Amino acid sequence: MRSQLPQQFTLRQAIANDVTWAAPLLFSSGPALFSYIFASPPDQAQEILSQAFRQPDHAFRGLQLNNIPINRGE
């Protein structure tokens, strides 16, 4: 079930340039999980996630879950 966004917001697919803020935000949702997945200490796991996010076909950027809300209002 999709929730409704206020009318002043639209969604767009994440792009490689979003990495500077989106990858750290994604990593902060579960640093221990990403460390486990990448079998690396947290700082290295975050860098691996950032590198993966830049790849156009990688799951961390390509999933529909990575839609970015854009505020069209003031």
Q: Over 50: is that where the pLDDT of 1 sits? A: no
Q: Over 90: is that where the pLDDT of 61 sits? A: no
Q: What is the 3-state secondary structure (H, E, C) of 7-61?
A: CCEEEEECCHHHHHHHHHHHHHCCHHHHHHHHCCCHHHHHHHHHHHHCCCCCHHH
Q: Over 80: is that where the pLDDT of 48 sits? A: yes
Q: Over 80: is that where the pLDDT of 57 sits? A: no
Is the entire prediction scored with pTM above 0.85?
no
